[in-house]
A = this chain, B = another copy of it.
Amino acid sequence: MLGIDPGLTRCGVGVVDVAADRSARLVHVGVVRSPADARIERRLAAIAAGIREVLAAHQPDVLAVERVFAQQNRNTVMGTAQASGIALLLAAEHGIPAATHTPTEVKAAITGYGGADKRQVQTMVARILRLDELPKPADAADALALALCHAWRGDGSAPTAAQGALTPAQRAWAEAERGARR
């Protein structure tokens, strides 16, 4: 599961492996950056290159992106929306489904409370992933939270292992078990 906290200057990426029992393991966490003084098309290309690298290295089954609202901080919201569009496009081009979740959905899924603050979310993400300290960089914790949120909630169209459906590997295993019992 790849979570993306979209941004033009800093784009958080987090990969988690979530089992059917909802337990989760940290696979990768990082931030893709683009220089603020570069041309906009070069900045978006840098973000795309960083996301492509993560897709190639970790081959996630799903990509989840934070949903951007026009009402958010006006100075950066357009760049954030453009970065989110890039992330969604790359999911399609990688042949995996994408999903979007609002910050409130993410907070509620992770902490049980949609109004939780950043620190509470980070603390819960660290606890869920059994990390000794808060995930770093701090921005990237949001990407991990998003990935966990999607693994647990889904988007109603792409069932995940943690929602009771089987992954291809689990399906193969179940079939092998049935075969052995015959």
Contact = CB atoms under 8 A, between A and B. Distances in A.
Interface size class of A (residues with CB under 8 A): 20 to 34
Interface stretch (A90-98, A104-112, A128-136, A166-174): A90-98
Interface of A is mostly: helix
Contact of A69 (B78, B82, B100): B78
A44 to B, nearest CB: 4
A124 interface: no
A41 interface: yes
A39 interface: yes
Given A86-B86, A86-B89, A88-B44, A39 B74 contact: no
A11 to B, nearest CB: 12
Contacts of A92: 41-42, 44-45
Interface string A69-90: 1110010011001111110110
A24 interface: no
B45 A93 contact: yes
Q: In this complex, which of A69, A74, A82 has the most chain B Cβ atoms within 10 angstroms of its Cβ? A: A82
Interface of A: 39-42, 44-45, 48, 63, 68-71, 74, 77-78, 81-86, 88-89, 91-93, 97-98, 100, 157
Given A44-B85, A89-B89, 14 more contacts: A39-B97, A41-B91, A41-B92, A41-B97, A41-B98, A44-B88, A44-B89, A45-B89, A45-B92, A45-B93, A48-B93, A70-B77, A81-B85, A86-B86
